Amino acid sequence: MPEVPRFAMYSGCVLDQLSWQMQRSGLLTASAKLIAQGETIAAATAAGTPTSLGLQRFGHFNGTVKRNGSSLGNVVSAEITYSNNLDRIETIRGDGRIDGADPTMAALTGRIEVRFSDSTLVTQAIDGTPCELEFNYSLGANASFTFTAHAVYLPIPRIEIAGPQGVQASFDWQAAKATSPARMCTATLINSIASY
């Protein structure tokens, strides 16, 4: 904040949560929640002159959702949240800092809102079987982001008839560690930047 001036430096930063929404319109924006061990206020910037990167932004219009490799139709909106569930170690110290932030059991959750046109997702929820959900953005061969949850479990939804329009169903899904591949999710970013 150079106008004040106030230049805060945060040390020991770890990522606690990353989330974003998919919808038909608007700007695609992700939220990242960080936990830092401490803050130091400086009188001048310590960042120097950062190199600016060319921004190539994905839009909601470039997004697709797939279930087990096939496009999942009638999706109105989707939410994805990956959380490390960090546990702050808030001990009494003379410098006012926390001792650290320990990772606990990571969680991958979200919600998909769909127009109710078939019983595929409801049948999966009743059977208690997992599926693979893939959330993808693409601007061509050299610019794409794919986030795959490999074993997603769906709850049985409440299907409400709210009026004369179409019926929508909301699924608050949760992912687990899959057997093959032996992980909960995979994120793949393809762009023209060689390294960060």
Query: If you average pLDDT over residues 117-133, what whole number do you get?
Result: 89
Residue 51 lies in a domain: no
pLDDT of residue 41: 87
The per-residue pLDDT for range 141-157, each reduced to its tens digit, is 889 999 999 999 999 88
Residue 195 lies in a domain: no
Residue 3 lies in a domain: no
Provide the 3-class DSSP secondary structure of residue 166.
Answer: coil
With a cut of 80, say whether residue 136 has pLDDT above it.
Answer: yes
pLDDT of residue 163: 65
Domain extent at residue 119: 9-43+60-190
Give the number of other CB atoms < 10 A from CB of residue 147: 19
CA distance 129 to 125: 7
Residue 50 lies in a domain: no
With a cut of 90, say whether residue 19 has pLDDT above it.
Answer: yes
pLDDT of residue 100: 80
pLDDT of residue 172: 94
Q: With residue 186 as reference, give the H or E element that holds it.
A: strand 185-190
With a cut of 80, say whether residue 105 has pLDDT above it.
Answer: yes
Residue 155 lies in a domain: yes
Residue 54 lies in a domain: no
Query: If you average pLDDT over residues 56-73, what whole number do you get?
Result: 87
- Cis amide bond preceding 181, omega within 30: yes
With a cut of 80, say whether residue 53 has pLDDT above it.
Answer: no
Residue 48 lies in a domain: no
CA distance to 87, 145, 166, per residue, from 84 (Å): 9, 21, 37
118 Cβ neighbours under 8 A, 6+ residues apart: none
Closest Cα to residue 78, out of 91, 93, 67?
Answer: 67
With a cut of 80, say whether residue 164 has pLDDT above it.
Answer: no
Residue 69 lies in a domain: yes
Query: If you average pLDDT over residues 107-126, what whole number do you get?
Result: 89
pLDDT of residue 117: 75
Query: If you average pLDDT over residues 109-128, what whole number do you get?
Result: 88
CA distance to 39, 89, 98, 145, per residue, from 94 (Å): 14, 15, 10, 44
Dump strand ranges (E) for 43-123: 63-67, 70-71, 75-83, 87-89, 100-102, 107-115
Amino acid identity at 24: R
With a cut of 90, say whether residue 175 has pLDDT above it.
Answer: yes
CATH assignment at residue 152: 2.30.110
The chain-wide mean pLDDT, for the chain, equals: 88
CA distance 152 to 160: 23
Domain tally, the chain: 1
Task: Supply the DSSP symbol for 97.
Answer: -
